[in-house]
Amino acid sequence: MKRTIVAHVENVPGVLARVDGLFRRHSLDVESLLFEGGSGATARLTVVLRASADAAALVVRQMRRFGDVREAHEAGSEISHDTVARLRPAL
């Protein structure tokens, strides 16, 4: 099933490869990937991929472990207060 994952990441070289490494490891097909960083310190990453609900949820949670990923969630899923609090200083 198609799922959309949105992440706020540090706009640094290697961050795309790090995130993509997760898709590779879980063998997920990426349908589209949009990286909006410009010259800012952070970037917004929007990925559409084909994955089961479980796989998408696990990938999102593993993505959050990365040092250069500030926040990640599946589009349409609720963002918790905890997440908002973590996200705020970054934005």
Partner 1 sequence: MSTAIRTETETRPRVRAARLFADELVRLGVTHVFGHPGGTMLPLYDALYDTPAITHLLVRHEQCGAHAAEGYARATGRPGVCMATSGPGATNLITGLADAMMDSTPVVAITAQVPTHLIGRDGFQEADIFGLTQPVTKHNWIVRDPASLVPTIRKAFRMATTGRPGPVLVDVPRDYLQAEIEVPDEAAEPTHRGRRAEASALRHAALAISNARRPVLYVGGGVISSGASEELKRLAQKARIPVTTTLMGKGGYPETDPLSLGMLGMHGTAYANWAIHESDLIIGVGVRFDDRVTLKLAAWAPHARIVHIDVDESEIGKNRKADYPLAGDARTVLHQLIPLVGAPDTKAWWARIEELRAQFPLRYDERTDAILPQYAVERLWERTRGLRPILTTDVGQHQMFAAQYWKCDEPRTFITSGGLGTMGFGLPAAMGAQCGMPGRLVINLNGDGSFQQTMQALITAVEAKLPIKVVILDNGSLGMVRQWQELFYEKRFFSVALANPDFTKLAEAMGAAGFRARTPGELDAAYDAMLAVTDRPAVVDVVVDPSENCYPMWPAGVGIEGMIPVCPRKKGEGASR
Residues forming contacts to partner 1 in the complex (CB under 8 A) are 13-14, 17-18, 21, 25, 58, 61-62, 64-68
CB 57, min distance to partner 1, A: 8
Q: Which of 45, 70, 74, 43 is nearest to 59 (CA)?
A: 74
- CB nearer to partner 1: pick between 25 and 50: 25
Exposure b/e, 64-83, CB count within 10 A at least 16 = b: eebeebbbbbbeeeeeeeee
* Residue 20 or 35 having the CB closest to partner 1: 20
Q: Say if residues 66 and 59 touch (Cβ distance below 8 Å).
A: no
CB of 7 to partner 1, least distance (A): 14
Minimum gap (Å) between residue 85 Cβ and partner 1: 13
| Alpha helices (runs of H) in the chain, residue ranges in sequence order | 15-25, 53-63, 81-87
For partner 1, the closer of residues 21 and 40 by Cβ is 21
